[in-house]
Amino acid sequence: METIDKIKQQISENPIILYMKGSPKLPNCGFSSQASQALMSCGEPFAYVDILLNPDIRAELPAYANWPTFPQLWVEGELVGGCDIIIEMFQRGELQPLVAETAAKYKEADAE
């Protein structure tokens, strides 16, 4: 599978996905740590991809997303942004309802 196809598949199969360095429990950079902390405090499960273990994705995703840095948060197939945007949204109280509504929508779909 081509790397871009793998990225598209990950984004389409996971309503909330964070591309980051490391994992939410063991982040490998401060920005990834802050972003995953903000997401975890929303209280809903989310997928993540450790780009350090996936150098192909690390190389291809910035061009696909038109976003040069990591972490990258994607919700329902749309790029939300990186660490600064995630933290800003969290502080403004915008991230929590976005995550909650998205998670609820997909829980309902799974239940049907």
- Is 42 part of any known ligand binding site? no
- CA 99 – CA 107 distance, rounded (Å): 12
- Is 21 part of any known ligand binding site? yes
- pLDDT tens-digit map of 95-111: 999 999 999 998 876 67
Q: What is the mean pLDDT of residues 18-30?
A: 97
Rg (CA), the chain: 13
pLDDT at residue number 99: 97
pLDDT at residue number 1: 82
Place of tokens 């840095």: 69
Is a pLDDT exceeding 70 seen at residue 112? Answer: no
Q: How would residue 31 be classed by pLDDT, with cut points 50, 70 and 90?
A: very high
Rounded to two decimals, what is the model's pTM? 0.95
- Is 110 part of any known ligand binding site? no
- Is 70 part of any known ligand binding site? yes
- The answer for residues whose C-beta is within 8 angstroms of residue 48's C-beta and 6 or more apart is 17, 18, 19, 20, 23, 24, 36
* Structure-token pair, residue 64: 């696909």
- Count of alpha carbons within 13 angstroms of residue 100, beta-carbon side: 9
- Is 58 part of any known ligand binding site? yes
Architecture of domain 3-104: 3-Layer(aba) Sandwich (3.40)
Question: Three-class SS of residue 30?
Answer: helix
- pLDDT tens-digit map of 45-100: 999 999 999 999 999 999 999 999 999 999 999 999 999 999 999 999 999 999 99
27 close to 36: Cβ distance less than 8 angstroms? yes
Hey, where are the domains in the chain? Answer: 3-104
